[in-house]
Amino acid sequence: MKLRKHIAIVGAGPIGLEAALAAMAHGHRVSVFERGEAGDAVRRWGHVRMFSPFGMNVSLRGIERLKKRGHALPDPDAILTGTEFVAQYLAPLADTLGEEIVHTNAEVVAIGRCDVLKHEKKDEASRRETPFRLLLRRGGREWAEEADAVFDCTGTFSTPNHLGDGGMPAIGEAACKPLITYGVADILGRQRWIFEDRRVLVVGSGHSAATAIRDLAKLREEAVDTEIIWATRRGMMPPCRRIENDPLPIRDRLAAEVNDLAESEKIDFRRDSTVLALHQNEDGVTITLCDFASNETVTVDRIIAAVGFRPDLELARELQTRLCCATESVYNLAAALLGDSESDYLSGNSHSPETLLHPEPGYFTLGMKSYGRTPDFLIRTGREQVESVLGWMEKNDD
Ligand SMILES: Cc1cc2nc3c(=O)[nH]c(=O)nc-3n(C[C@H](O)[C@H](O)[C@H](O)COP(=O)(O)OP(=O)(O)OC[C@H]3O[C@@H](n4cnc5c(N)ncnc54)[C@H](O)[C@@H]3O)c2cc1C
């Protein structure tokens, strides 16, 4: 098969690695650039047990490749932790691709086009003629690479949202960062010493917040002086959204469990609470929470900011991207997600390849990043995106 294009894949998470396999199968030459190790973001939440079974998180192509090389694989119904998923699938898969293809500890700092600025040569054909240029960094060394197409699979995990009112940093948040854990905390493992017998505030109402609440409640069974305050911005009761006929029963059980906890005396649950300000003092951090019109303060030892993630928009700033102004997901995809019923997009129904197009030809945002701030992205959806974009490229000779 003739080599069609050189595709630079940014990020060796579940979607970047699957994209590499799929693009190679379509006859393309690929280079994967990963800031850390393969599956770096998944490693960071590696202590968490996944919602989706192994068989839903992997491709037939990946499975066959590993089997051919004699790897034993988990049962398709197995529910792995993130660490197990990396060890039993992502890392071996990256190894089979080799260092020639997967460049680890290679951070992509910027993506643009050679010799074309964002606002120049507006017609698509003339932009298409010039290759992409990626600025890379490893340690103190920087270099550039060129590519015919770019798949941006950088996820959102490394850019958590801020804690404060209106999605902005709260007053004093920057100064209190050492006492805040953003995203997912390993409460029962590596970070246990930070939380046991401490007063902890959890902010947020999604599944990461729910995981923190469940784990803190478990920790409290042994470390009985652990105090848990749970603040959610919305007034919704119960606080954690349950999905009707959730196809992922583990996720549903988690929601049900923490909704019960919110009503129990084990948790100081405060809804309608917005974080206005943080102030570090000798007692820990004093937080000003706004509950409708009145303000109140609580003082805690640690904060878990489980308030979601956002895409890093700086990376492709020099390209002509088109994003939804509300969710920062790929524009047409955002519209498609809006049109879907909740169960449609949670079950990972794919959208047409056109939903993934930017005005910039040859640049595709795939995986978790394509959803922007919209939660509930599943690996399976990302795999479907990869296939549909490669099919579209082939059909349109892009
Ligand atoms: C706690 C938790 C549990 C989850 N459970 C599930 C589940 O059960 N099932 C499911 O389907 N989904 C689950 N998800 C969602 C899951 O994270 C995604 O589905 C999946 O990891 C998305 O893959 P991705 O490749 O798009 O992004 P990521 O996994 O985030 O991978 C992005 C990669 O890009 C790299 N990167 C970032 N910036 C750069 C850069 N500038 N240069 C080079 N490399 C870069 C990162 O280091 C990372 O390795 C969960 C998420 C969390 C937080």
How many angstroms separate the CA atoms of 71 and 93, rounded? 10
250 CA closest ligand 1 atom index: 8
Percent of the chain with pLDDT over 90: 83
Nearest-CA neighbor of 380 among 229, 248, 204? 248
Specify the residue with its C-alpha closest to ligand 1, atom 2.
Answer: 45
Q: How many A from CA of 386 to the centre of ligand 1?
A: 15
Residue 77 pLDDT > 80? yes
- The answer to whether residues 278 and 286 touch, using CB atoms and an 8 Å cutoff, is yes
**E strand spans, the chain:** 6-10, 29-33, 102-103, 107-113, 132-138, 141-147, 149-152, 180-182, 199-203, 227-231, 268-270, 273-281, 284-291, 294-300, 302-305, 363-365
51 CA closest ligand 1 atom index: 8
**Confidence at 3, pLDDT banded by 50, 70, 90:** low
**Higher pLDDT residue, 298 or 345?**
298
Average pLDDT, the chain: 93
Specify the residue with its C-alpha closest to ligand 1, atom 31.
Answer: 13
Residue 245 pLDDT > 90? no
14 CA closest ligand 1 atom index: 25
How many angstroms separate the CA atoms of 334 and 318, rounded? 22
pLDDT in tens, 275-292: 999 999 999 999 999 987
Whose tokens are 């009503």? That residue is: 263
Q: What is the pLDDT of residue 350?
A: 56
Structure tokens at 119: 């606002």
Nearest-CA neighbor of 302 among 325, 323, 286? 286
CB of 11 within 6 A of ligand 1: the answer is yes
Q: How many A from CA of 277 to the centre of ligand 1?
A: 30
Residue 345 pLDDT > 60? no
Q: How many A from CA of 150 to the centre of ligand 1?
A: 18
Count of residues for the chain? 398
Burial tier of 200 (Cβ tally within 10 Å: 0-12, 13-18, 19+):
buried
**Mean pLDDT within 160-166:** 96
Q: How many A from CA of 72 to the centre of ligand 1?
A: 24
pLDDT in tens, 184-212: 999 999 999 999 999 999 999 999 999 99
Count of CB atoms within 10 A of residue 8's CB? 26
**Mean pLDDT within 245-264:** 92
Q: How many A from CA of 268 to the centre of ligand 1?
A: 31
3 state SS of 84? helix
Least confident span in 64-73, 92-101, 227-236, 239-248: 239-248
How many angstroms separate the CA atoms of 300 and 179, rounded? 10
CB of 185 within 6 A of ligand 1: the answer is no
Residue 213 pLDDT > 50? yes
**Mean pLDDT within 157-182:** 97
- The answer to whether residues 251 and 51 touch, using CB atoms and an 8 Å cutoff, is yes
Evaluate if pTM is beyond 0.75. yes
**Confidence at 136, pLDDT banded by 50, 70, 90:** very high
Residue 116 pLDDT > 70? yes
**E strand spans, 187-315:** 199-203, 227-231, 268-270, 273-281, 284-291, 294-300, 302-305
Q: What is the pLDDT of residue 108?
A: 98
**Confidence at 123, pLDDT banded by 50, 70, 90:** confident
**Mean pLDDT within 389-393:** 95
Test site for ligand 1: of 33, 37, 50, 108, most ligand atoms within 8 A of the Cβ? 50
**Higher pLDDT residue, 340 or 96?**
96
Q: What is the pLDDT of residue 241?
A: 87
Nearest-CA neighbor of 82 among 90, 74, 71? 90
- The answer to whether residues 242 and 248 touch, using CB atoms and an 8 Å cutoff, is no
Q: How many A from CA of 155 to the centre of ligand 1?
A: 5
- Give me the residues paired with residue 7 across strands: 30, 149
How many angstroms separate the CA atoms of 110 and 363, rounded? 13
CB of 43 within 6 A of ligand 1: the answer is no
CB of 40 within 6 A of ligand 1: the answer is yes
- Give me the residues paired with residue 273 across strands: 291
pLDDT in tens, 7-61: 999 999 999 999 999 999 999 999 999 999 999 999 999 999 999 999 999 999 9
184 CA closest ligand 1 atom index: 1
Q: What is the pLDDT of residue 42?
A: 98
Nearest-CA neighbor of 318 among 134, 112, 115, 154? 112
CB of 306 within 6 A of ligand 1: the answer is no
Test site for ligand 1: of 83, 104, 158, most ligand atoms within 8 A of the Cβ? 158
Specify the residue with its C-alpha closest to ligand 1, atom 50.
Answer: 50
**Higher pLDDT residue, 111 or 121?**
111
Which residues 6+ apart lie within 8 Å of 307 measured at CB?
Answer: 160, 161, 162, 163, 203, 204, 209
CB of 368 within 6 A of ligand 1: the answer is yes
Residue 258 pLDDT > 90? yes
Percent of the chain with pLDDT over 70: 96
**Mean pLDDT within 130-135:** 96
| Complete domains list, the chain, with CATH | 6-157+309-395 (3.50.50.60), 165-305 (3.50.50.60)
CB of 151 within 6 A of ligand 1: the answer is no
Structure tokens at 50: 């996944």
Q: How many A from CA of 44 to the centre of ligand 1?
A: 9
CB of 42 within 6 A of ligand 1: the answer is yes
Residue 132 pLDDT > 60? yes
Which residues 6+ apart lie within 8 Å of 379 measured at CB?
Answer: 14, 15, 52, 56, 57
Residue 112 pLDDT > 80? yes
CB of 107 within 6 A of ligand 1: the answer is yes
How many angstroms separate the CA atoms of 331 and 1, rounded? 34
Measured in degrees and rounded to the nearest 5, phi and psi for residue 293 equal: -85, -25
CA distance readout (Å), 255 to 52, 81, 82, 379, 398: 15, 18, 19, 20, 44
